[in-house]
Amino acid sequence: MTKIKNFPSALFSFWVLLLTQATSTLATNELDTRVNNSCPPGERAALLTLKAGFVDPKHRLSSWEGHDCCSWSGITCSKATGHVVKLDLSNTYIQELGFFHDYNYALGGEIRSSLLSLRYLNYLDLSYNNFSYTKIPHFIGALKDLRYLNLSLSNFGGRIPPQLGNLSNLQYLDLCANYFDGNIPPQIGNLSNLQHLDLSWTFIYSYEVAWLAHLTSLKHLDLSTINLSGSINWERLGMLLHLQTLYLSDCKLNETSFSLPHVNFTKLSTFDLSFNEFSNPQSLIWVWNMTDLRSVVFSGNNFDGRLLNALRNMNSIQELFLDYNNLMDMKSSDLKNLTNVKLLELSRNQLTRDITKFMEGMSPYGLQSLYLSENNFYGNLSSWIGRMLA
């Protein structure tokens, strides 16, 4: 009778012991994964499925075999958990050699949805590849842990998927130099943690820029070559108080389309407004009060001597690009207050001056690089060069 009475208690103890051993085994396996830094089998399978969808003419993914996918090329795993956290398949051969149209080493083909099995992925780089004008897969917007996404120079086409606006943790987004069409999806404005946004050279347009107002963490913004001629709500740009670099080159902007009230860009150091349609510097009155600008690019507009007067108090400038304008009446003394300029680009401005006198006037400024090609200078420069080399 004693044994019968104690049977339930003994059975309970047995199950507790069994459960403890099972838990210990699972913990040991998880610890082994962390110690060995090998990714879980499900993530390994997802990567192999991804590989099967790629076209890889130069066998860049030849290391993708065996059990330890954390040792595969382009894969980084967390040392703490063993999960895949970084996938860098950028075509570094092009970046290093500068062959921006040589796709011999580029990946192509299909980006498969097995990518979604990498639930802890926070870094994805597929730049400098060749996806033959296919669309960016919408499911990339479901990779909620992504903080870095670079799909630049990879021949994507179609529309930018609005689902990218779901990547609430994203800090870096580069889609430049692809062949998109249509409008900038306003959902991009949902990326409140974004610090770097590059949409340049993408053949798209934007009727309004109100979506910028929510990107209050933004430090770098490049919208170059996007047609912004009809955009409204430019005052929202003033919400980007942390902005350090702003590129608006070749956006079809002019005094009418790009009108801003006073903005407080106290951290802006680089401003590129090149190859637009400006002539009157008064339309940019908000620029002339910025005290931290280091690099200013106004190339390819129609500015005249009034621009030099507007620039006179901006002594923080170190690089000044004024080529392809209409500064034919410029004198060396017009720059006397810009004492920190090290690089000055004045090519193609129809400057008509005695080159010796012009260069003598520039000598006190401490310039390191001066570009004067395709102007109308006359005189003998050799005597000035001789004095400089003496």
Lowest-confidence region among 34-43, 73-82, 311-320, 373-382: 34-43
* Residue 388: predicted pLDDT: 65
Q: Above 50 in pLDDT, residue 17?
A: no
Question: 348: which DSSP letter?
Answer: S
Q: What is the pLDDT of residues 228-272, one digit of tens each?
A: 998 888 888 989 999 999 999 999 999 988 878 778 888 999 999
Provide CATH code, domain 40-389: 3.80.10.10
Contact, 144 vs 79, CB < 8 A?
A: no
* Residue 95: predicted pLDDT: 61
CA 376 – CA 216 distance, rounded (Å): 46
Q: Above 70 in pLDDT, residue 3?
A: no
**Longest CA span, the chain:** 123
- Secondary structure (H, E, C), 122-184: CEEECCCCCCCCCECCHHHHHCCCCCEEECCCCCCEECCCHHHHHCCCCCEEECCCCEECCEC
Average confidence (pLDDT) over 68-74: 96
CA 165 – CA 189 distance, rounded (Å): 7
Q: Which residues contact 7 (CB under 8 A, 6 or more apart)?
A: none
* Three-state secondary structure call for residue 327: coil
* Residue 364: predicted pLDDT: 72
Label residue 74 by pLDDT band (50, 70, 90). very high
Report the DSSP pairing between strands 270-272 and 220-222: unpaired
**Residue 6 structure tokens:** 């104690």
Average confidence (pLDDT) over 337-360: 93
Q: Above 50 in pLDDT, residue 6?
A: no
β-bridge mates for residue 320, sequence order: 296, 344
Q: What is the pLDDT of residues 288-338, one digit of tens each?
A: 888 889 999 999 999 999 999 999 889 999 999 999 999 999 998 998 889
Query: Between residues 389 and 374, which one has the greater pLDDT?
Result: 374
CA 43 – CA 114 distance, rounded (Å): 9
Average confidence (pLDDT) over 78-99: 85
Lowest-confidence region among 25-29, 46-50, 201-205, 246-250: 25-29
Q: Above 90 in pLDDT, residue 2?
A: no
* Residue 100: predicted pLDDT: 54
Average confidence (pLDDT) over 49-67: 96
CA 297 – CA 247 distance, rounded (Å): 9
Q: Above 80 in pLDDT, residue 120?
A: yes
Q: Which residues contact 291 (CB under 8 A, 6 or more apart)?
A: 266, 316
Q: Helices 355-362 and 382-389 sit at what angle, rounded to 10 degrees?
A: 30
Report the DSSP pairing between strands 123-125 and 148-150: parallel
What is the chain's mean pLDDT, rounded? Answer: 88
Residue 117: closest CA among 65, 44, 185, 61: 44
Query: Between residues 34 and 313, which one has the greater pLDDT?
Result: 313
β-bridge mates for residue 259, sequence order: none
Lowest-confidence region among 3-12, 88-97, 195-204, 209-218: 3-12
* Residue 36: predicted pLDDT: 52
Q: What is the pLDDT of residues 91-108, one digit of tens each?
A: 988 765 554 556 789 999
Residue 77: closest CA among 43, 50, 108, 107: 43
Average confidence (pLDDT) over 28-41: 57
Burial of 188 (0-12, 13-18, 19+ CB in 10 A): buried
Label residue 38 by pLDDT band (50, 70, 90). confident
Q: Above 80 in pLDDT, residue 18?
A: no
β-bridge mates for residue 208, sequence order: 232
Kindly compute the dihedral angle of the four CA atoms of residues 279, 281, 286, 288, in this order, to the nearest 10 degrees.
140
Q: What is the pLDDT of residues 132-165, one digit of tens each?
A: 999 999 999 999 999 999 999 999 999 999 999 9
Average confidence (pLDDT) over 116-142: 98
* Residue 24: predicted pLDDT: 43
Q: Above 50 in pLDDT, residue 363?
A: yes
Instruction: State the DSSP H helix or E strand holding residue 26, giving kind and residue range, or none if neither.
Output: helix 2-36
Residue ranges of E strands in the chain: 54-55, 75-77, 84-88, 108-109, 123-125, 148-150, 157-158, 172-174, 179-180, 196-198, 220-222, 245-247, 270-272, 295-297, 319-321, 343-345, 369-371
Length of the chain: 390
Question: 212: which DSSP letter?
Answer: G
Residue 245: closest CA among 225, 228, 224, 269: 269
CA 100 – CA 217 distance, rounded (Å): 31
Average confidence (pLDDT) over 106-127: 98
* Residue 389: predicted pLDDT: 67
- Secondary structure (H, E, C), 219-257: CEEECCCCECCCCECHHHHHHCCCCCEEECCCCCCCCCC
Q: Above 90 in pLDDT, residue 173?
A: yes
